[in-house]
Structures are given as structure tokens and as C-alpha cells.
Amino acid sequence: MAYANHRNQINVSGLPNQELSDLRAVNPLPPPTFVPGPPLGVIYVNPYFGRVVPQLVPVIPPLRFALNPAVVVRMEVERSMSLLQLMENEGLVPSPEEEIKRQYVIDNLKQIVMEWIKRIAYQRHLPRNYIRAASATILTYGSYGLGVHNSESDIDGLCVGPYFATMAEDFFIVLRNMLASRPEVSDIHCVKDAKVPLMRFKFDGISVDLPYAQLNVISVPDNVDILNPFFLSNIDETSWKSLSGVRANRSILQLVPNLEIFQSMLRCVKLWAKRRGVYGNLLGFLGGVHLAILAAFVCQRHPNASLGALISIFFKTFAFWHWPTPVVLQDGITQAVLPAEMRYLMPIQLPCSPYEYCHSNITQSTFSRIRREFLRGNALTMDLLRPDFDWNTLFVPFPYSKKYTQFVKICLLASNQGELADWVGWVKSRFRCLLVKLEEVEGFCDPNPTEFVDVDVAEPNIVLYWGLQPGRSEFVDIDSVEEDFMKSITNGYQAPPGKMALSIVQASQLPKSAAEFDGGGRTKGTKACWRIPDFNQQGAPVYSKHLPRDLVGYLATSGNVEYYNVGN
């Protein structure tokens, strides 16, 4: 809270020592003019003075006042510490016991692949010195490789083997059988038709995704430098794709100025993306590698910023980014922008490959959702020094059942859990086709990443609910959409396909568990704030009609935003 006393000084309530700043000394501008304030209940958020409820509202930009730099630093440290505490409370930081368990899994997998590669070398009747020298290893990437995993995270590991170990026979048959024979391994599945073929299984209860890359060498050491061009010569396209995740991780870790700050920032950004429903590449949103590069991009440009400041800068940077201008990390190499990759709505360049971009399934609908969430994040974090600032407002779950009145219900079924896992993985890899088709007939579709189970259906199933454009009274021929998509997903599927059913449901028909995903509307303890406005079809901002006309004009010209409940 801030107010002026009879000496034209400002008292900033909530700041240490109640420091005073003289308005005449710190603000040479002429006195502001005032108009009647907003109606009762509408709160004006002054980004410099904190949250106030004034009788008069200025129609010029808010007055800036000088704060003691030491106070600012201390408040930024406090904000960063409170964010770290929030992450710990959310379970985003694994315990030492969990870290030991994951390391145990990795060490055991490395031993298994070493036994495997020796067996393959012997079966190939290679010379004895080749057999002795033969080696393979496991390289981690993804959240575990970046050091931002939590207790629920999978392990993304890459099996890297020498030239004589093939994927079709040696990896998917011999290694698969060796893993299946281990008592620690369960639920093993081979996903051969994916863009990056892999084995998926659980080791001691921890889920592991394990693709394979074949290098043109006799031995792959445990400390192989995967960024060295020597190891990348004459490899096949599948191996190149499998290696891209590891190479991107290694490059990012080398390019960020402060690894610990980057890891904390990325944990926060991933939590935000998941809570707000904009996480998941298969559904057209941002994947882990996208968020890692965006976070590293901000860290590179602000190497001395605190964690809290980096989060604020992150949202400010990408809320107003001029897409499709690519996001490119600086690594000292002059990088060209390929016109072919500009088809992506949000192009993000892989740091290890100057001429490659992160694969993206982003469509017009998901692009709009991501941008709105960036804008919301910016509005909520633009003033970290506000006395009543609360990080929890940033992570309020997106209220699907309140935002949308109609949903596409997608139900995927199979005869058993094993077949269902393969079927769901296959259909998800082609979800972009369904999303584009729904956009064609409906104009907008918001895929909720959360998966549910219909307990009233006897067969094993997975159910998803995708929000449809508000204001549309009827949906156009859902049956034809289902027929077209079913044809596309059954084409090329090696096993007997499962079932899929599309239907339209109202928000009132959502299962209780789906409604609970919203967090019960406005979460207890959240604050009201100002929002970046919605945009009409012509791209013009649409502000709340209950605001005074002069205030609306000021907001439109100053970049300030419309009042709303942060739960939305």
C-alpha cells in the first residue's frame, strides 16, 4: 500500500524501515489530472505503489519513485526464496533417496547394455580383440538429463551402441528379452512405429523411455562426447533423431551462465505450463525441449538476474515476441533462418543444430492459447515488488469447465491395458490431424492434456475432453470428423487397432473428476489483478465495459490491462 502525506512524500507500506521518497525530488513531471474512480469493487493495480483502492484514478502513467537499491535487492531475494519454497512444497525437487534410486536404475541399465553388446559381438563372430573392446552406454536427456526432474518424472535414456548392433534385431529383440527377464523390469512395450522408435518399461517402478542410436564405431565409451562431429559421421536418420534430444540437452547445459538458476527457472516454467494446460508437444503445445530453450534464452541475456526476476522477464519476453521470428540461443555460431522452417508458428531452434528446429505440432488454436498464457503470466509477474505479490496466482489451474460450454469427448478403448498403451500412444502421435480438422469445422479447439478414465465402460479406456469455441450452439457433423480421423490412424498401424469414439458433451455433463481439475474456480488466497485483454476477430483489444471511458483509453495506450479474476 502506498499513500502521499501532507509533505508530498510517499510511504510504501510493507517495505522495510517504512522508507519515504519525496515526490517533488523523484518525479519532475507535472501533477496528474484525475477522473472519477472505478465503481465499488473494481481494484486499480498500480504497478509501482502496490494494490490500492483509490477514490480518484490517474489518467497519466503512474508516478515512479526511487527505492533504495538495497531494499530492491532484498525484496527480490525474498521473492526468489518464496518461489523456491513453493517448488519444494509442490514436490518438484526430488529427495536424496529418490535421487539414489534413479541413479541405481541408470547404473543397472548401463550394466545390462554392456552385457548385451558383448553378447551381440560374440554372436556376430567378431575378432576377440573387438569383443573385448566392444561397449555401449546409456545417456540421459529430458528432464532427468537437465536436472529438473521430480519424484514423478520418467527417465529418458538413450541406448547408444556400435555399428554392428542393429535396431530391428539386436535392440528390439535381444535387448528387449534381456530386460524382460529381469525381475525389476515390468510393463515393457516396443514402440517401433514412432518417429523415434523406443522401448518403454518400468524399472523398479520408475518409468523409462529408451530409444536407440547406432554409431559408426566399434566401442561407445561411457563418457562419449556426443557433440563431437566424429561420432556423428555416417549415421542413419533414425539414430540422428534419437541423438538430437541428448545433444540439445548437452548444448543447453553448456550455454546457460548459471546452471542452478536455470534449473530452478525451468522447474517453475514447466509447472506453470502444466497447470495452465499448455504443456505437451503431441497436443500442439510446448514440450520439454521448447521450454528449456526458451528458459535458457532468457538466462543467457540476463546472466546476473535473480530467479524471480528471470520468471518475470520470461513472460515479458515471450508475451510480446514477434512470432514467427525464431528463438535462437547464442553459441558463437552465425545461424541462418531456413524459410522451410518458418512454417512453424513458434519456431525454436535446436542449439546443437544450426539448421534444425524443434519439432512442433502447434496449430492456430494452441498458438492462441499459449500466447494468452504468456500474456497472463506477464500481467501477473510484471510487478514482483508489490507488497501483496503472491506466486500462487501464477499457477492456478486453467478452469476448463468454466471457460467452455461444450467439449469434444475422445474415448480410446482396447481389450487390455497393454494394447491400450500402444493404441493410445499411436493415436496421440496423430492428434494434430484431429486438432486441425476440428479447427476447420469449429474454428477453435483447446486440447485439455489431462487424461481420465470412464469407470462406466467395461473395457480399458482413456478419455480426454477438448474445449470448443464458446458461443457456438451446435457442432458441425462430429460423425464425419470421427470417420476421417479413424481412417488416418488405422492406416499403418501394425497391430489390430483399438476403438475410438468422438462425441459432444456439455460442461454440465463432465465427470466430477474433470470439474475438479479446475481447482474449484477461484482458489483460496488468490488475488485480483489486471489482465491483458482478449482480442476480437479484427485483432483489437476488448476491454471490460464497466470501466470508465477515460480509464479504458489510458489502459489501451499504456499497455495496462483489464480487470479480471486470476482464477480465470
Known catalytic residue: 143?
yes
What are the φ and ψ backbone dihedral angles of 9, each rounded to 5 degrees? -105, 155
Of 430, 490, 476, 405, the C-alpha closest to 284 is 430
Is the bond into 324 cis (omega within 30 degrees of 0)?
yes
Percent helix, strand and coil across the chain, each to the nearest 5? 40, 20, 40
Residue 197 CA to residue 173 CA, distance in Å, equals 13
Residue 226's contacts (CB-CB under 8 Å, 6 or more residues apart) are 139, 160, 232, 243, 246, 247, 250
Burial (CB < 10 A; 0-12, 13-18, 19+), residue 494, is exposed
Q: Which three cell numbers stand for residue 371?
A: 500466447
CA atoms within 13 A on the CB side of 286: 30
Of 314, 224, 210, the C-alpha closest to 262 is 314
Of 262, 338, 343, the C-alpha closest to 307 is 262
Catalytic residue among 44, 141, 144, 279: 279
Place of cell 559421421: 233
Known catalytic residue: 118?
no
Alpha-carbon distances of 151 from 96, 100, 143, 144, 155, rounded to whole Å: 10, 12, 11, 11, 11
Known catalytic residue: 477?
no
Known catalytic residue: 156?
yes
Catalytic residue among 153, 170, 209, 357: 209
Catalytic residue among 21, 80, 135, 143: 143
Q: Which three cell numbers stand for residue 380?
A: 501477473
Known catalytic residue: 95?
no
Catalytic residue among 101, 154, 390, 402: 154
Known catalytic residue: 270?
yes
Q: Which three cell numbers stand for residue 302?
A: 540476463
Catalytic residue among 270, 312, 400, 554: 270
Report, as residue numbers or ranges, the catalytic residues: 143, 154, 156, 209, 270, 279
